[in-house]
Amino acid sequence: MPDRNDRWSDLLRRAMTGDNAAYATFLSEIAPVIRGIVRARTGGAEDAEDVVQEVLLAVHAKRHTWRDSEPVTPWLYAIARYKAADAGRRRGRGGPQVPLDDIEDILPEEAGEATAARDLAVLLDRIDDRSARIVRAVGIEGQSAAEVSAALNMSEGAVRVAYHRAMVRLKELAETEG
């Protein structure tokens, strides 16, 4: 039996070609997982279900940004993390509230993510600001080249070239730093 990531990737691929049943299945299968992530990251805040709906809407709106050659779960989890963080900022708290009862379930996964995020932040600080903004917008936030080009007053082609060059530079930096 294929793992969840393979199944979800297949469902989303089929949905992108117009298979409405596959899309309905995809959304119904990811919703409980997204709900768990959001509740863990918001500490079960009163608006957790609103955040879940925001995540599902973002998945719908940004589904074209998912690269079907990549696993779907990191893409989904990133959207959920960002929407939960946005909700925390709107509430005016210092970040997500996590009950201590659940910490051992969350901590092992979070430690790797925090390290990777910190490493990426260090590498992004070592390239020029415009390239770093493009990588954040396209590679992390999932914005299209058109959206980034409008925001940075560049052509879409220039954004794509700059993104590619920045990714090559980041790879070189990562390899030299081991």
State pLDDT tens for residues 62-116: 888 888 888 888 888 888 888 888 887 777 654 445 554 554 554 444 444 555 6
DSSP tag of 88: H
- Given a contact cutoff of 8 angstroms between Cβ atoms, the answer to whether 37 and 80 are in contact is yes
Q: Is 117 helix (H, G, I), strand (E, B) or coil?
A: helix
Residue 49: predicted pLDDT: 86
pLDDT confidence bin for 25, thresholds 50/70/90 = very high
What residues have CB less than 8 Å from 58, skipping those under 6 apart?
79, 83
pLDDT in tens, 109-145: 444 455 566 777 788 888 898 988 988 888 777 788 8
Domains in the chain: ranges and CATH? 1-98 (1.10.1740.10), 110-178 (1.10.10.10)
Closest CA to 135 of 126, 42, 98: 126
- Predicted confidence at residue 14, as pLDDT, reads 92
What's the DSSP call for residue 32? H
Question: Which residue is associated with the tokens 């979070």?
Answer: 110
pLDDT at 117: 64
Which residue type sits at 1? M
